[in-house]
A and B are shown apart, each in its own frame.
Chain A
Amino acid sequence: MKHTLSILLTLGSMTLSLGSLAQKTASQGIDEYRAMLQDGNPADLFEAKGEGLWTQKRGPKNASLEKCDLGKGPGVYKGVFVELPKYFADTGRVQDMESRLLTCMETLQGFNAAEIAKTPFGKGEQVNMTALATWLASESKGMKFNLSQAHAEEKKFYEVGKRLFFQRGGPHDFACASCHAEDGKRIRLQDLPNLTKNPGDGIGFAAWPAYRVSNGQMWGMQQRLNDCYRQQRFPYPGFASDATIALGVYLGVNSQGSASIAPAIKR
């Protein structure tokens, strides 16, 4: 409770200081705002919720997720995040964290995975999905990305992800690469990571899930990619669809060896 209050106060002071930005030079103000973002991360609240959801008996089968295999065997949650997406023999698919959670929620708890995938972000079981992904990411915080490329499907997904990354289309001819293929570029004042290579510790793929101060929302990687595609003027990428997972493989393999800071805090 005390924690929640301090986070709210921090957020409040951020809003206040944004209002006083005009008195300093604009870029000074922005630097201070960015520094303040590091003070407290409301992602803590989502982490706590996710941790609780892992052991809670839920769904039609009234079961917990404690036997969920996220890649290192049933129930292992430390260090799994930095090895995803990877190939899973039981589903015959390459899966990211959220896709794999969907599998566990269906097989262990009896939820309808297709229904959850169709649910908009921030609604119903998607709220729980984000909390779980946030907590699981926090259990690998500081660890280095180490995605497998041993399985043929994993290699295939990297190649497909690369093609998707460079695929121009839609009314604006945008690709992921339009914004993320060069060093040192910005959209307005927002710095853009170059995702065609390793962007470094805690940048790009290594920063999500993240709490977004601008809209007060906690976003997983699926939502991050979804909003990129929205701004790219592309159609809606299905939740946990192969396109989003292939992109995750491309970004994750490129980030190999970089430390994860997820859950991060963003503007």
Chain B
Amino acid sequence: MTKINSKLRTSLAVGAVALLAVGCASVPSTLDFKALTQQIVKASFRDEGIVKASILANIDESNQVCSEADANGKPLDEKTAQAIEAANLKTIKWPSNGKFLGDWKEGEKIAQNGRGLTFTDDDKTVNGGNCYNCHQMDPKEISYGTIGPSLYNYGKIRSVSNPDSPDVKLIVEYTWGKIWNSKAYNACSNMPRAGHNGILSEDQVRHLVALLLDPQSPVNK
């Protein structure tokens, strides 16, 4: 019995070694795939309209780390996530005139607009916020996406009755910061960094903050 077992063990071990050896010979390592993917990307994409192929050669650290984690199916460890969030938090440009809220009616138009920055747009296209693509906001708009959470009653459920009150300062700042650079609060957020990446102007961000926090906005009715 013991003899058979040890024989079996030996043959299993030999088998495992053989498998490993085959594995090493035919399947390249993760690093090789990374290099190969970069090489294929370089050869496959070209400039078109306002979009330059070079943007794919200069993907920032946050995106690199999150893409890698996604592809491996492993979420980031806490330390890495915190480091990414801290680095992104530093980039937030706070309102130059001290005003966080603009006109919610303008905000609604920006939230509806999903245009801009594709290779069929031109540099005169006004960029939209793409908000309704992923979020519910004004409940009258039934064509909303569900990739992000519903933002219906965003201000109301956070008890924002007067956005100028010092009591709600942190919520107002967070709302600005989240739109400006979502990765400051969630390292691998799916949400575009609208201010940080120059998709929206400071004024446009101000209008979106109003859409979310102004008690008169349909979002809070």
A binds B: yes
Residues 137-177 of B contacting A (Cβ, < 8 Å): 142-147
Stretch from A9-17, A69-77, A157-165 that touches the partner: A157-165
Is the C-beta of B122 less than 8 angstroms from some C-beta in chain A? Answer: no
Is the C-beta of A170 less than 8 angstroms from some C-beta in chain B? Answer: yes
Contacts of B48 in A (CB 8 A): 235-236
Partner of A160, one of B40, B59, B193: B40
B49 to chain A, nearest CB (A): 8
The closest CB in chain A to the CB of B40 belongs to A242
Is the C-beta of A45 less than 8 angstroms from some C-beta in chain B? Answer: no
Is the C-beta of B94 less than 8 angstroms from some C-beta in chain A? Answer: no
* Alpha-carbon gap, A230 to B118, bound state (A): 6
Contacts of A155 in B (CB 8 A): 26-27
Partner of B59, one of A27, A169, A172, A243: A169
Is the C-beta of B53 less than 8 angstroms from some C-beta in chain A? Answer: yes
B145 engages A187 (CB within 8 Å)? yes
Main secondary structure of the interface of A (DSSP, over half): mixed
Is the C-beta of B192 less than 8 angstroms from some C-beta in chain A? Answer: yes
Stretch from A129-137, A177-185, A259-267 that touches the partner: A177-185
Interface residues as binary, A178-200 with B (CB distance below 8 Å gives 1, 0 otherwise): 11011011111110100000000
Interface range on chain A (Cβ under 8 Å from partner): 35 or more
B33 engages A163 (CB within 8 Å)? yes
Contacts of A152 in B (CB 8 A): 26-27
* Alpha-carbon gap, A159 to B71, bound state (A): 9
25 A-B residue pairs with Cβ-Cβ distance under 8 Å, sorted by A, are A152-B26, A163-B37, A165-B71, A167-B37, A168-B63, A168-B67, A168-B70, A171-B117, A171-B192, A172-B130, A173-B62, A174-B192, A175-B67, A187-B134, A189-B143, A192-B147, A230-B120, A233-B51, A235-B47, A237-B44, A241-B40, A241-B45, A242-B40, A242-B44, A243-B44
Residues of B within 8 A of A (CB): 26-28, 33-34, 36-37, 40-41, 43-48, 51-53, 55-56, 59, 62-63, 66-67, 70-71, 117-120, 130, 132-134, 142-147, 183, 190, 192-193, 197-199
